[in-house]
Chains A and B, each alone.
Chain A
Amino acid sequence: MNQKIVENHLTIIQPEICKGCGLCISACPQNVLKFHDKFNSKGYHYAYYVGEGCTGCNVCFYACPEPEAVIVYKKGHVLQENEEVTI
């Protein structure tokens, strides 16, 4: 069976749940989160992970007020079978 393993530390921000408050961006010690130029369907410039530099410190997870908007995986995390990872 193919186990899906997260290769690098990873932050995922769900664009449709993000409200663009910017707290994760101001909290990120690595400065690897940014506002996207695009709007989401609520009309907010959502935050996104630039793709490299994440250390899996989970600061952004606790900085975000939304329960589901931010997901942080450490390197080597084994994903559940039904989980999908997209950036």
Chain B
Amino acid sequence: MAKTAWTKSDAFYNEYFRNPNPDKKSTHYCPGCGHGHVHKFLAEAFEDFGVVDQTIMISPVGCSVFAYYYFDTGNIQAAHGRAAAVATGIKRAHPHSIVVSYQGDGDLAAIGTAELIHSANRGENITVIFVNNAIYGMTGGQMAPTTLKGQKTTTSPRGRDPKNEGNPVKVCEMVNSLDAPVYLERVSLHDVKHRAKARMAIRKAIKNQVDGIGYSLVEVLSPCPSGWKMDPVDSMKWIEEEMTKVFPLEVFRDRSKEIEPSQEKKHIPTKDEIITNLGLKELHDEAFQKTQMASHYKNPAIKAAGFGGQGILLLGVGLAQAGMLEGYNVSWIPSYGPEMRGGTANCHVHISEKVVGSPIVSKPSVLLAMNRPSLEKFQKDVVKEGLIIYDSSLIDIKPDRDDVEILDIPATKIADELGNTRIANMVILGALVGYTNILNLKSLVATLPYIITRKRLIDVNKKAIEKGFEFGKNFQKKDLQN
């Protein structure tokens, strides 16, 4: 049946409840703004292709940053210019979503040029809508990369001079030099005929993505009556008379007919598939029980620190991995200098029954210090009644805190006796677990094949953990009450 009514698209919210203004029915755009047209064309396309619920819009920086007020789709707001990069990430993580990077000339052609070119060059299966109004509209009418020669803006008050400010950037022509894009067209909003063309171009760009064909970019020459200081009808004339001379309207490329639509069906992996694909089967077959521990050791925030090369980061990974096996929420984050060996390295580990907020540990409840500078630097940060474990064979001072538990272990000496100096980190790890009982020895040992790549070293690391565990378990607690 032929269409008999033209009303607001269902891809728009019924009421724009996100808009803080009391008026929930109209957009925040100025009268005559081209964003409204492009929004309408997009919404209609989403609705007609039945993809409203799987669409993710990327809003840029510019007036259209508030596109999420209006579209009843998913939305992510990207940092200035990064919409194409964010779109890439989303499309790869959710290949079956429809990702639309909606950008203006300041966002796409100035700060985001690199992201635009590289996403186009990779041929990401996304749709880029480039709204070109030859000016920075939101910030008050400054010169944009696409500003025409001689056009007056607040930052080119005598008119853009190519000798000083360069020539207008032609985005479609630039992207057309790349091999990967599938569909490139420049359209305009200036009259009835061209609006119809623009509508069809936007539909096509969305359809290409629905079919899984590849990268589509539609450049829309759009009016900015406020920025250009014209009335809306005159600004449409200005597009026709001035802009289209510099930015010719044409289909620069359309390979959508040459490419077969992707037949790939959406596949949601089952839990078993995920476990098999990630190689977790073996681990999940074993049950790793949580340990009973003293309440003040619960949810430890651990900072491990030492020289680069001592295996500090690996120690942290082992802790986090073992915590994960036992079903805790864990985080691990490294922090080190540019040196591969030498320099200082530290890492932050949370093993928590609750959700971990920030992975950073600025007030550790457990400090593992493997060299003197680390002990000196971080001991003051340890919380009251916390725990400091340090390698007494390398550190010739004692901590000067009397309100924390202190465990000194000659880790490097023990490692030496086991035949490998470099496993001192595992001795410390074993000692921490043996002393506090925060994790099972069994789960700690079970992580070794996953964190140590050289299989022949697993045995000696296991011995080191067990040795440290024994040491920690038998360590006599000193009374905190002085």
Chain B residues within an 8 Å CB radius of A78: 4
Chain A residue with Cβ nearest B26: A17
Known A-B contacts A22-B231, A23-B233, A27-B192; the reply to A65 vs B34 at CB < 8 A is: yes
Chain B residues within an 8 Å CB radius of A72: 5-6
Please measure, in the bound complex, the distance between the C-alpha atom of A69 and the C-alpha atom of B27, giving whole angstroms. 10
Q: A63 an interface residue at 8 Å Cβ cutoff?
A: yes
Q: Determine whether the beta carbon of A67 is less than 8 Å from that of B43.
A: yes
Binary B-proximity of A48-77 (CB < 8 A = 1, otherwise 0) = 000000001011011111111111111011
Q: A21 an interface residue at 8 Å Cβ cutoff?
A: yes
Please measure, in the bound complex, the distance between the C-alpha atom of A32 and the C-alpha atom of B150, giving whole angstroms. 38
Chain A residues within an 8 Å CB radius of B2: 74
Q: Is the interface of A mostly helix, strand, loop or mixed?
A: loop
Known A-B contacts A16-B25, A22-B231, A62-B40; the reply to A67 vs B4 at CB < 8 A is: no
Q: Determine whether the beta carbon of B31 is less than 8 Å from that of A21.
A: yes
Please measure, in the bound complex, the distance between the C-alpha atom of A10 and the C-alpha atom of B199, giving whole angstroms. 23
Taking residues whose C-beta sits less than 8 angstroms from the other chain, chain A's interface range is 20 to 34
Please measure, in the bound complex, the distance between the C-alpha atom of A68 and the C-alpha atom of B9, giving whole angstroms. 8
With beta carbons under 8 angstroms apart, the residue of B7, B31, B43, B192 that contacts A63 is B192
Q: A36 an interface residue at 8 Å Cβ cutoff?
A: no
Chain A residues within an 8 Å CB radius of B199: 62
Interface centre among B27, B31, B43 (most CB of A within 10 A): B31
Chain B residue with Cβ nearest A71: B7
Q: Determine whether the beta carbon of A71 is less than 8 Å from that of B26.
A: no
Q: Determine whether the beta carbon of A64 is less than 8 Å from that of B36.
A: yes
Please measure, in the bound complex, the distance between the C-alpha atom of A68 and the C-alpha atom of B8, giving whole angstroms. 5
Expressed in whole angstroms, the minimum distance between the Cβ of B36 and any Cβ of chain A is: 2
Please measure, in the bound complex, the distance between the C-alpha atom of A78 and the C-alpha atom of B4, giving whole angstroms. 9
Please measure, in the bound complex, the distance between the C-alpha atom of A54 and the C-alpha atom of B231, giving whole angstroms. 26
Known A-B contacts A20-B31, A21-B31, A77-B5; the reply to A67 vs B39 at CB < 8 A is: yes
Chain B residue with Cβ nearest A20: B31
Q: B274 an interface residue at 8 Å Cβ cutoff?
A: no
Please measure, in the bound complex, the distance between the C-alpha atom of A19 and the C-alpha atom of B25, giving whole angstroms. 12
With beta carbons under 8 angstroms apart, the residue of A44, A56, A62, A71 that contacts B31 is A44
Please measure, in the bound complex, the distance between the C-alpha atom of A78 and the C-alpha atom of B1, giving whole angstroms. 12
Q: B79 an interface residue at 8 Å Cβ cutoff?
A: no
Chain A residues within an 8 Å CB radius of B390: none
Chain B residues within an 8 Å CB radius of A19: 26, 30-32
Q: Determine whether the beta carbon of B233 is less than 8 Å from that of A22.
A: yes
Please measure, in the bound complex, the distance between the C-alpha atom of A62 and the C-alpha atom of B252, giving whole angstroms. 25
Chain A residue with Cβ nearest B14: A68
Please measure, in the bound complex, the distance between the C-alpha atom of A84 and the C-alpha atom of B35, giving whole angstroms. 29
Chain A residues within an 8 Å CB radius of B43: 67
Q: Determine whether the beta carbon of A67 is less than 8 Å from that of B8.
A: yes
With beta carbons under 8 angstroms apart, the residue of B5, B31, B233 that contacts A26 is B233
Contacts A65-B32, A67-B39 known; list 12 others, CB within 8 Å: A21-B232, A56-B4, A62-B40, A62-B196, A62-B199, A65-B40, A71-B5, A71-B7, A73-B4, A73-B6, A74-B3, A77-B4
Provide 25 A-B residue pairs closer than 8 Å at the C-beta atoms, listed in order of the A residue. Answer: A16-B23, A19-B30, A19-B31, A20-B31, A21-B31, A22-B233, A23-B232, A27-B191, A27-B192, A42-B23, A62-B192, A63-B195, A64-B36, A65-B27, A65-B29, A65-B31, A65-B35, A65-B36, A65-B37, A67-B8, A67-B9, A67-B40, A68-B12, A68-B25, A71-B8
CB-CB nearest 9 A-B residue pairs: A65-B36, A21-B32, A19-B31, A21-B31, A77-B4, A21-B232, A74-B4, A61-B6, A72-B6
Chain A interfacial positions (CB closer than 8 Å to B): 6, 14, 16-17, 19-23, 26-27, 29, 42, 44, 56, 58-59, 61-74, 76-78
